[in-house]
Amino acid sequence: MMDIIKIGFRNLIRNRHRTVVTTFAMGFAGFIMILFASLMQGMLQASERNAVSMDVGDIQIHVAGFRDDPDLYKQIKAPDVLIKKIETAGLRAAPRLYGFGLAASGSASSGVQLHGLNVPLEREVTEIHKHLAKGAWLDPNDPGGVVIGRRLAKTLDISVGSELIFLGQSADGGIANAVYRVRGVLKSVGDSIDRSGLFMVETAFRGLMVLPEGAHEIAVMRPDRRGELSTAKSQIASLAGDYETLDWKEIRPTIARLLEMADTQLIIIMIIITYIAVATVVLNAMLMGVFERIREFGIMKAIGVKPWQIIGLIYVETLAQTAAASVLALGTGWAASVYLQKNGIDLTHIVSGASVGGVAIDPIWRAQVSAETVMTPILFLFIMAVIAVIYPAMKAAFIRPVDAIHDQ
């Protein structure tokens, strides 16, 4: 056994060029796989983060029918009490108010959806406060300051510091009209917010729309986003009573389906394709390595080396090279992925403002490195190598010495 290992290594060293080329080829393929897995993971997480953490939250509570026909009067009564209960259950919740109207600046105007947010609670639930392109997020001490979606800013041709007029109908049927100052402009969040999102603090909303109490929506977030979504949902549903409880997959079915599909099918298909390419490289190198030395194996067999020892020898060579390639792939792949996790690929010019299923695609494509994205490719590399050399190993092991020696 020790002899086989020794011979294996000696063979590798003797055929230095071939060893280096094979190792580098496998290492490069491993590097690509790690980078690819990390980037896919990053994209999926970014999409889910945009869908869930920027806007929807894990779970939402509404008055039944609000989502189909959002009107000012479909309110959740005593939202504070319900929020307290949700918080006691270990989840986070924030009330939201919605209204519709017209925002105008100069001669430009556009229909808007008004979002009235409880700033401190919203901060616990979503990350929209971190998602500003310009300016600052809402501040409860500045009720006259609003934050708007990026396309709305473009439509109205306004930016931070500009003045914006809102015109709508308040709950008492009167005219809701006020002037606001733009505090911040959001990055791309999703179609609806980008185009028509106008965010203001809860107190400003209540005053403007004459809506002293109630909430239109309660957004709930699991504190660590771990555990089963369905468990949390049924927990919330029992607290919410007669109100409608939906999870984000029901609220954004398009993106949820896409993520599910991407999570399984797309990644698997892409990984299989990459891995088949790797396997071809490994198989090719090994086949060449074996056939080149077919006479050598013939002589070995002639002097009494057993077939399993030849198989062993080829596997020693393969595994040694794969191990070296893995180290190479790990080092480079991990480093590159971490770099892309930090810096990302800037696709601003290509996908700026693009969205899928109403959820914005982050124009900076960042990788997401995890044990899974790094180790899975390495594991597959080994599996592929082991499978790829079955044929050349068998060929070498069972060749008749006479045929081998006469092989030209």
Instruction: By CB under 8 A, name the one of 27, 79, 101, 312 that touches other proteins.
Output: 101
Q: Binding segment for other proteins among 16-24, 138-146, 175-183, 366-374 (CB under 8 A)?
A: 175-183
Instruction: By CB under 8 A, name the one of 174, 227, 253, 331 that touches other proteins.
Output: 174
- Smaller CB separation from other proteins, 74 or 295: 74
382 binds other proteins (CB under 8 A): no
Tell me the per-residue interface mask from 388 to 407 with other proteins, x by CB under 8 A, - otherwise.
Answer: --------------------
- Smaller CB separation from other proteins, 180 or 248: 180
- Smaller CB separation from other proteins, 86 or 182: 182
The DSSP bridge partners found for residue 101 are 112, 168
169 binds other proteins (CB under 8 A): yes
Q: In angstroms, how far is the first alpha carbon of the chain from the final one? A: 30
Question: Closest approach of Cβ 154 to other proteins, in Å?
Answer: 15
Tell me the number of residues near other proteins by CB under 8 A: 24
Question: Closest approach of Cβ 107 to other proteins, in Å?
Answer: 7
Question: Closest approach of Cβ 196 to other proteins, in Å?
Answer: 9
Instruction: By CB under 8 A, name the one of 8, 30, 79, 168 that touches other proteins.
Output: 168
65 binds other proteins (CB under 8 A): no
Alpha carbon distance 368, 71 (integer Å): 40
Classify strands 132-135 and 145-148 as parallel, antiparallel or unpaired.
unpaired
| Interaction residues for other proteins, span 70-89 (CB under 8 A) | 71-73
107 binds other proteins (CB under 8 A): yes
- Smaller CB separation from other proteins, 8 or 116: 116
- Smaller CB separation from other proteins, 47 or 110: 110
162 binds other proteins (CB under 8 A): no
Instruction: By CB under 8 A, name the one of 6, 80, 81, 111 that touches other proteins.
Output: 111
Q: Binding segment for other proteins among 29-37, 106-114, 263-271, 394-402 (CB under 8 A)?
A: 106-114
Sign of CA dihedral 371, 374, 376, 382: negative
165 binds other proteins (CB under 8 A): yes
Q: Binding segment for other proteins among 164-172, 214-222, 324-332, 385-393 (CB under 8 A)?
A: 164-172
Instruction: By CB under 8 A, name the one of 5, 21, 89, 178 that touches other proteins.
Output: 178
The contact set with other proteins (CB under 8 A) reads 71-73, 99-102, 104, 107, 109-111, 165, 167-169, 171-175, 177-179
